[in-house]
Amino acid sequence: MREDVAQILFSEEQIQEKVNEIGKQITEEYKDKEVVLIGVLKGANVFMGDLMRQIDLPVTIDFMAVSSYGLSTESSGVVKILKDLDQSIEDKHIIIIEDIIDTGLTLHYLCDNLISRKPKSLKICTLLDKPERRKVELKVDYKGFDIPDEFIIGYGIDYAEKYRNLPFIAALKREVYEK
């Protein structure tokens, strides 16, 4: 697997430092409140697992699985909900946890869908952001790192369901996904 890595962008230590920082920020901003973290599967599960342990508040979690990529490296723009929430979010403080925001089309759809369920508040948290690829306006409330327009793997992020277990975030060699 590591032979497919073009370049390590963020080490395990850098990631943990950023996750701790975001956790403290959320703790401060939601003091005396309960939050619901909604992880967007599958990529955000590692980030969310680490992040929730850094939030010193009552936290509940839920997950959604959405797809706009399939096995491609480009978003189709057509969003499908593959797994919906198990609980109501009405009158709750919601933070969507994403691994990476690219065009923003999937997350924009997801936000519209969740807002229709009448949460008390809705914020977005992402570990990685590619702002130059954005096709829709999004307010990202908590952000780890801006990244270049590279195909990223590791720390929960995959290519064709592989590489999620790498402890760092790296760029994938082009020859791997341009086959």
pLDDT at 77: 60
Per the CB < 8 A criterion, the answer to whether 162 and 104 are in contact is no
**66-104 residue pLDDT tens:** 877 554 445 556 788 999 999 999 999 999 999 999 889
CB atoms within 10 A of CB 162: 13
Is pLDDT of 8 > 60?
Answer: yes
pLDDT at 141: 98
CA distances from 110 to 30, 32, 48, 153 (A): 22, 27, 17, 23
For the chain, what is the mean pLDDT?
92
Q: Rounded to an integer, what distance in angstroms lies between the CA atom of residue 8 and that of residue 46?
A: 18
Of the candidates 50, 99, 102, 158, the residue annotated as catalytic is 102
Helix (H) or strand (E) holding 13: helix 12-29
Mean pLDDT across 12-18: 98
Note the pTM of the prediction, 2 decimals.
0.91
- The C-alpha angle 28, 33, 34, rounded to 5 degrees, equals 110
Q: What residues have CB less than 8 Å from 175, skipping those under 6 apart?
A: none
pLDDT at 179: 72
Tell me, yes or no, if 102 is annotated catalytic: yes
Domains belonging to the chain, first-starting first, are 12-148 (3.40.50.2020)
**24-68 residue pLDDT tens:** 999 999 999 999 999 999 999 999 999 999 999 999 999 999 877
pLDDT at 69: 55
